[in-house]
Amino acid sequence: MAKVMIVDDEKDVLYLLKVLMEKENFEVIEASNGLEAYNKLTADNEPARPDVIILDIMMPEMDGYTLQAKIQEMEDLRGTPIIILTAKGQMKDLFELSSNIHAFVEKPFEPKNLLKIVKEAINKNGK
């Protein structure tokens, strides 16, 4: 079963995405900010290893840009596709040189379209 990590500080978005992904039988790992996600990815006992990460940009504690940069430094995670979820279209250029960015999806998003992008990312990653 493919694992999807959802990192978003908006509880409604987190819940919607969790329900959407679980309906497709994906295992969901939730985090309400970048620091929480980072801690799950680097946990000593059973670190999370998602097949794809849906990542919001503007969050407290640690923003999506910082988390994405930290993921790039982790050898076993740097190939994990990341789908950037953002309300700000101009953020795209911050990620231009990042090889692990699979797609940008602007809020508000169409759930079916996001699901299609998640499936493409998982398939591309060989799951």
Q: Contact, 7 vs 55, CB < 8 A? A: yes
User: Into how many domains does the chain fold?
Assistant: 1
Radius of gyration of the chain from its Cα atoms, rounded to whole angstroms? 13
pLDDT, residue 100, reads 83
- Mean pLDDT, range 9-34, rounded to an integer: 96
Residue 64: which domain range? 50-127
CATH assignment of the domain containing 64: 3.40.50.2300
Q: Indicate the pLDDT class of residue 90, thresholds 50, 70 and 90.
A: low
Residue 8's nearest CA partner among 76, 94, 95, 67 is 67
Q: Strand pairing partners for 53?
A: 5, 82
What pTM, to 2 d.p., does this model score? Answer: 0.92
Is residue 98 assigned to a domain? yes
Is residue 122 assigned to a domain? yes
- Mean pLDDT, range 14-35, rounded to an integer: 97
